[in-house]
């Protein structure tokens, strides 16, 4: 039997599955609401439990997306990329600088400082473990979005994954944060994350920590 031809849509579906996985937290919030809990008035313990449940769901769903991608496309996300050149390391540093400026405008200050002041040490630690899991899903949107558009447009030099991330996760902040400006700044950040993926020659082993760190800073 002739094997199924892999198309850009096979990769795009995986990117959308990763994006939809982010919404797992909304399910957690809905269940908490049914239980009479208001996340705006969580105790420290409730906040931590909420994050731990969300983290577990995100990690499981992310692993499932990788499995689906492997099964439907044959794409090995862990395949090593070629060695980076000196200019690529410099470009990664520039991505971090631009990202920090973008976040500074978004947060009205440095994100790390704002989070520390708002949360305190204990919640700060769990908040950033939560960000690690979200960064994992963000990276999957980028990887599979990039593969989809490369299959369609036959160009590997454009950060399509960042564009897909910006149009999904980035612009979704307009609704979750209630601000067009925040959504647009998040979309810009998404484009930077996608550029970083190309700069490491699409080596996911390098891209995952870099994209996650860009997201967290």
Residue 3: inside a domain: no
pLDDT of 185 > 90? The answer is no
Q: Give yes or no for a contact between 106 and 180, defined as CB atoms under 8 angstroms apart.
A: no
Residue 198: inside a domain: yes
Q: How confident is the model at residue 94 (pLDDT cuts 50, 70, 90)?
A: very high
pTM summary value: 0.90
Residue 116: inside a domain: yes
Q: Give yes or no for a contact between 187 and 174, defined as CB atoms under 8 angstroms apart.
A: no
Domain of 85?
A: 8-216
* Token pair for 71: 């099964």
Average pLDDT for residues 62-75, to the nearest whole number? 95
CA dihedral (100, 102, 105, 106) positive or negative: negative
Q: Give yes or no for a contact between 190 and 166, defined as CB atoms under 8 angstroms apart.
A: yes
Average pLDDT for residues 32-41, to the nearest whole number? 84
Sequence-separated (6 or more) residues with CB below 8 Å from residue 127: 51, 115, 119
Residue 84: inside a domain: yes
State residue 6's pLDDT score. Answer: 87
State residue 39's pLDDT score. Answer: 81
Q: What is the pLDDT of residues 140-176, one digit of tens each?
A: 999 999 999 999 998 888 999 988 988 887 777 666 6
> How many distinct structural domains can be found in the chain?
1
Residue 158: inside a domain: yes
Q: How confident is the model at residue 2 (pLDDT cuts 50, 70, 90)?
A: very low
Residue 2: inside a domain: no
Please state which of the ranges 96-100, 179-183, 208-212 shows the lowest mean pLDDT. Answer: 179-183
Residue 110: inside a domain: yes
CA dihedral (23, 24, 27, 31) positive or negative: negative
Q: Give yes or no for a contact between 154 and 173, defined as CB atoms under 8 angstroms apart.
A: no
Q: What does R_g of the chain's alpha carbons equal in angstroms?
A: 18
Q: How confident is the model at residue 107 (pLDDT cuts 50, 70, 90)?
A: confident
Which position has the token pair 């399910």? 27
* Distance separating alpha carbons of residues 79 and 5, to the nearest angstrom: 21
Q: In three state form, how does the secondary structure of 4-73 look?
A: CCCCHHHHHHHHHHHHHHHCHHHHHHHHHHHCCCCHHHCCHHHHHHHHHHHHHHHHHHHHHHHHHHHHHH
State residue 1's pLDDT score. Answer: 33
Residue 191: inside a domain: yes
Which position has the token pair 């899991």? 133
* Distance separating alpha carbons of residues 147 and 7, to the nearest angstrom: 10
State residue 179's pLDDT score. Answer: 66
């Amino acid at each position: 039997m002739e094997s199924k031809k892999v198309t850009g849509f096979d990769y795009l579906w995986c990117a959308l599955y990763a994006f939809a996985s982010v919404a797992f937290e909304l399910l957690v919030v809905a269940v908490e609401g049914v239980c009479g809990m208001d996340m705006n008035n969580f105790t420290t313990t409730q906040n931590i439990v909420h994050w731990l449940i969300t983290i577990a769901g995100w990690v499981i769903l992310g692993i499932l997306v990788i499995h689906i991608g492997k099964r439907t496309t044959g794409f090995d996300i862990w395949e090593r990329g070629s060695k980076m050149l000196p200019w690529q390391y410099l470009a990664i540093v520039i991505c971090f600088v631009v990202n920090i400026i973008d976040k500074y405008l978004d947060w009205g200050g440095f994100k790390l400082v704002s989070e520390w002041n708002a949360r305190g040490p204990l919640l700060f630690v769990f908040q950033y473990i939560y960000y690690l899991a979200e960064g994992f899903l963000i990276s999957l949107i980028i990887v599979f979005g990039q593969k989809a558009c490369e299959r369609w447009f036959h160009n590997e030099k454009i950060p399509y994954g960042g564009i897909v991330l910006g149009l999904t996760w980035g612009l979704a902040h307009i609704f979750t944060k209630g601000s067009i400006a925040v959504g647009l700044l998040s979309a810009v950040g998404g484009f930077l994350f996608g550029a970083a993926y190309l700069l490491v020659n699409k080596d996911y082993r390098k891209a995952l920590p870099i994209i996650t760190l860009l997201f967290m800073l």
